[in-house]
């Protein structure tokens, strides 16, 4: 696999900027919103693919953490009974 050269500072800034815009869109419109598709493409275009994967995982983790903080932990077996 071709190793990507380490991104320059400008490239990193562009990547993070694109990620932040994309995430903000998801936060306002909900994950998977069509409105964010264009920002998703910009994010993928500006960031190395490894980073895109990493940030996707990171976002899932942050959402999960936030959910735990707001709703508390619900064991899977308790979720069905209410």
Q: What is the pLDDT of residues 22-80, one digit of tens each?
A: 999 999 999 888 999 999 999 999 999 999 999 999 999 999 999 899 888 767 775 55
The predicted pLDDT at position 80 comes to 59
User: Higher confidence at residue 10 or residue 74?
Assistant: 10
Query: pLDDT-based confidence at 7, cuts 50/70/90?
Result: confident
pLDDT of 2 > 70? The answer is no
Domain map of the chain by residue range? 9-64
Tell me, letter by letter, the H, E, C secondary structure of the chain. Answer: CCCCCCCCHHHHHHHHHHHHHHHHHHHHHCCCCHHHHHHHHHHHHHCCHHHHHHHHHHHHHHHHHHHHHHHCCCCHHHHCCC
Q: Would residue 52 be called left, alpha or beta, if left means φ above 0 and alpha means ψ between -120 and 50 degrees?
A: alpha
Predicted TM-score (pTM) above 0.85: no
pLDDT of 1 > 60? The answer is no
Q: From residue 54, how far is each of 9, 29, 48, 61, 82 by CA, in Å?
A: 18, 22, 10, 10, 36
């Amino acid at each position: 696999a071709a190793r990507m050269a380490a991104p320059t500072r400008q490239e990193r800034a562009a990547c993070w900027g694109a990620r932040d815009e994309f995430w903000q869109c998801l936060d306002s419109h909900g994950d998977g919103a069509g409105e964010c598709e264009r920002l998703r493409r910009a994010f993928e275009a500006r960031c190395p693919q490894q980073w895109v994967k990493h940030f996707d995982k990171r976002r899932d983790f942050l959402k999960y953490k936030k959910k735990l903080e707001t709703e508390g932990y619900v064991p899977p077996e308790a979720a069905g009974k209410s």
